[in-house]
Structure 1
Amino acid sequence: MKNALKKIDSRNELISVPKVGIALLLFAFALSCKNYSETEEASMEMTENAKEADIVSSSAAIENKNSERKFVRTADAKFKVKNVAQSTYAIENATTKFGGFVTYTNLQSSVSEKFDTKISQDSILETTRYKVENNITIRVPNTQLDTVIKTIAQQIDFLDYRVIKADDVSLQMLSNQLAQNRSKNYENRLEKAIDEKGRKLKEINPSEENLNNQKEINDNRKLENLALNDKVNFSTISLYIYQPETTKQEMVVNNADISAFRPHIGIQIVDGLKTGWYILEGIIGFIVQLWSLILLGFIGYIVYKKYLKKQISKAI
């Protein structure tokens, strides 16, 4: 009997082990499916962000290190964002992060419509429809232009347009450099001629004036090349961002309708009784102040009635 029970227990153990293994396999499979789903969603989100970045990115923004050409790169874009203020801060932070700087920003609200709705005798609902916009101009290192543009693209809710330009100024810079060299050579020869031959004042003055003009031309060429180098090294990005029209409603006091602030009829009656009583008190007080005159008048009346009236009647 004991042997039979042992055989049954061993069979139950053999049966329970596969059940536990199957449950663990199902749990592991469900967990892997969940992780795969989360990974796939994250991958899709990254793909969408990459697509948005590619919309405003361009090969014109990529610097070819092996090329000897010099490009002045500029970018112009107009797009809608969810919140202009927050996007402005994000763009400014990205500009600073990648070694650039902001040269112009004009954040403002333009009111498109404003009207009042009378809610009660003393209250008005003021409704304002307005649009927030910002014009931003930033300059970033030309090697970081594509990175900055892709970072800015994360703020785009709807793209109106984007224009990226790369103007080759290599020949212009070379022309300025050659002209600067020629001017410098002429300047040196002119200085040497003045030192050797210009002994008289009437000969020195025109030569000196010509020398100053030549130095000015040389300086202008140098400044032009410096300005071009600055434009080559730092690209300019001009942005116009805006958000959907916003409606703001605010309850304000109706100052025009003062009748709403008149007191209730009961309060007016009580105030009238108080006012009448105050007037009566004033009259009584005024009469009391004249008591001496009243007393003299009363005494005169008694004297008149007792003495003067009798004498008058006897005389008649």
Structure 2
Amino acid sequence: MKNRTKLGLALLLFGLAFACKQADSLDNATEAAADTTAVASTISSNAAVEKKESHRKFVRTADLKFKVKNVAKSTYAIENIVSKNGGFVTFTDLKSNINEKSETKISQDSTLETTRYTVDNTITLRVPNTQLDTVLKSMVKEVAFLDSRLIKADDVALQLLSNKMAQKRLASHQKRLEKGIDTKGKKLTQITNAEDKLLGRQTESDETVLQNLSLEDQVNYSTVTLYLYQRESVLQEIVANEKSINAYRPHIGLQIWDSLKTGWFMFEAIIAFVVQLWALLLLAVLGVFAYRKFAKK
């Protein structure tokens, strides 16, 4: 009976421990989900989303800086996200910045090369304004730490309307100039001046059209600038040493033999030089002989 009581108590304690462990796991999962949701709400952009019946037109831009685990992998993931949502990348600058480089000789013919570097990337992308929030939320899983987020929405509805009104005025003025040139232009000077004015109005009209097209493009496609970076990485590799010139020096016996030959060559050169001076030596001998002969007399 006592054994059954102990067994039941042990099973009860095991069940309580297992339940506590499951509760902790659920709490951790809930906290992780809450963190992800918090980052998603921070990085997303629900502001300035115009309604279908609204007459407002927003040019939305976003600038984000955040840390990732691997810049290259996150870059590819973000490019895929942008492509799936109908956007495109206009600029990317992925590079490795070397912070420190050192070499340690580990053997006679090997050196350990250590490089400390940081990888970063600046990306500029364009996405449909209706997909901006979706794209930003999809990038949350790549964010390890969010440094900054700046999102702007400029209402350009009035500017678009102003450009259209100016375009109508210029078109009307252009027609009157054309009619005046055809009916009243008699002299060459008058025609030339009128043509110059007409060309100026046409240029202004074209610039207004281009401004409106540019604004409409910015309204339809939001511009997002991202700066990605990761923690400092270390690369170590063993490289072969270049052989020193001492490795090619001959042994002592060969050096002695070369020295003997060099000395003999110098001795031959001296003899040859002396032989070249035989005329001077002959004159010297004759001079000594003559001196002794006349000295005795």
Tell me the distance in 2 between the aligned counterparts of 1:61 and 1:255. 64
Match of residue 173 from structure 2: 186
Give CA deviations for 1:45-84 in whole Å, capped at 9, x if unaligned: 4433222211212332634333211111000011110000
Superposed displacement of residue 249, structure 1? 0.5
Give CA deviations for 1:110-164 in whole Å, capped at 9, x if unaligned: 1010010111121111000001110100000000001111112221111111100
Tell me the distance in 1 between the aligned counterparts of 2:22 and 2:100. 51
Contact 2:94 2:120 in 1 (8 A): yes
Partner of residue 171 from structure 1, selected from 146, 149, 158: 158
Superposed displacement of residue 44, structure 1? 4.9
Tell me the distance in 1 between the aligned counterparts of 2:150 and 2:112. 44
> Which structure 1 residue ranges, 5 or more long, are not aligned?
1-30, 277-316
Tell me the distance in 2 between the aligned counterparts of 1:48 and 1:114. 38
Tell me the distance in 2 between the aligned counterparts of 1:189 and 1:208. 12
Q: What is the TM-score when the length of structure 2 is the normalising length? A: 0.73
Partner of residue 102 from structure 1, selected from 89, 95, 117: 89
* Residue 62 to residue 257, structure 1, CA distance change in 2 (3 Å): farther
Tell me the distance in 2 between the aligned counterparts of 1:256 and 1:111. 27
* Residue 257 to residue 55, structure 1, CA distance change in 2 (3 Å): farther
Contact 1:73 1:235 in 2 (8 A): yes
Superposed displacement of residue 101, structure 1? 0.3
| 1:210 and 2:197 matched | yes
SS of 1:140's equivalent? Answer: strand
Match of residue 253 from structure 1: 240
Superposed displacement of residue 262, structure 1? 7.3
Partner of residue 144 from structure 2, selected from 148, 157, 160: 157
Tell me the distance in 2 between the aligned counterparts of 1:180 and 1:90. 43
Match of residue 135 from structure 1: 122
Match of residue 220 from structure 2: 233
Superposed displacement of residue 200, structure 1? 3.0
- Greater CA drift, 124-133 or 168-177: 168-177
Give CA deviations for 1:276-295 in whole Å, capped at 9, x if unaligned: 9xxxxxxxxxxxxxxxxxxx
One-letter identity of the residue aligned with 2:127: V
Partner of residue 47 from structure 1, selected from 34, 38, 44: 34
Superposed displacement of residue 256, structure 1? 6.0
Superposed displacement of residue 186, structure 1? 0.6
Contact 1:131 1:243 in 2 (8 A): yes
Quote the RMSD (CA, aligned, Å). Answer: 2.9
Tell me the distance in 2 between the aligned counterparts of 1:257 and 1:246. 33
Superposed displacement of residue 233, structure 1? 0.4
Tell me the distance in 1 between the aligned counterparts of 2:27 and 2:147. 30
* Residue 166 to residue 57, structure 1, CA distance change in 2 (3 Å): same
Tell me the distance in 2 between the aligned counterparts of 1:156 and 1:52. 8
| 1:72 and 2:59 matched | yes
| Count of residue pairs brought into register by the alignment | 239
> Which structure 2 residue ranges, 5 or more long, are not aligned?
1-17, 258-297
Which is higher, the Rg of structure 1 or of structure 2? 1
One-letter identity of the residue aligned with 1:182: R
Match of residue 121 from structure 1: 108
The percentage of counterpart residues that share the same residue type is: 54
Give CA deviations for 1:237-290 in whole Å, capped at 9, x if unaligned: 00110110100001111216455x579xxxx79xx79xx9xxxxxxxxxxxxxx
One-letter identity of the residue aligned with 2:89: V
Map of 1:276-291 to 2, 5 A cutoff? none
Contact 2:94 2:122 in 1 (8 A): yes
